[in-house]
Structure 1
Amino acid sequence: MDEFAKKVRDRRLQEKLSQQELADRVGISRNYLSQIERGQATNLSWQLMEKLTSILGLKGDPTVTQAEMADIPLSLAEFAKSAGLPADDTIMLARLKYRGQQPTTPEKWELLYNVIKMTVGK
């Protein structure tokens, strides 16, 4: 079971939520949530991960960000620092890959981030 899957399951149990209750809040099926918690659902969208972390109160959880911050590409870290990105946004970007590839320069990370912001409307 991967770390994110374990955190989702553990927090859901802490909050005394059934899988169905959490799935309804997030807008997914109970079966899909079960797959997520077992680490069988891979390549989760960042929107879904954002919903899960927000609803479960994992957003500010330092154990989530510290573990993932170690895997931040240097070019992304440079962009995040210069733009003053929140840790959650930096982690979201670090999770993104297109055909196994990620941007390789701070300028390309900035372009990707701006496209996401415009698409989501924030």
Structure 2
Amino acid sequence: MDTDPGIPGKPEDSSEGSVGGRIRRYRQDRALSLSQLAEQAGVSKGYLSTLENDPQARRPSAETLYTIARALGVTMSDLLGRKLLPAAATEIPTSLREFAEEEKLPEADVRMLSAIQFRGEPPRTKERWRYIYTAIRTSEAIDR
């Protein structure tokens, strides 16, 4: 039987902050049993159970973590509880720079926008940058 942290009467050994706790959370979010995830990831059910329930268990190898992440449809960074570092944009497109200056955007927003590509290319006009930036800003309410 799986255990859940924070549920009365159940052990709290594997916290949300551990690799095992995150594996459990993503597995349960996807309504997968230990057996189903084990089969999809190509690891044993016992090993997954140990990862999820034993805070002293050795961390999985990078290859094993990758197969589990892939089976869950998440990144290895998600399982490790780390944020991915975006590649630094080497160049700010002229149209973005013009839009940013008109709107007095913070430099952090300009860097974020500079990483955006659609079908391999950045937007080409100030109007496209404005549309994308507006969509991002108005979508903030969804996260609340």
- TM-score under structure 2 normalisation? 0.41
In terms of Rg, which structure is larger?
2
Q: Which has the higher helix share?
A: 1
Structure-1-length-normalised TM-score: 0.48
Higher RCO (C-alpha under 8 Å, 6+ residues apart): 1
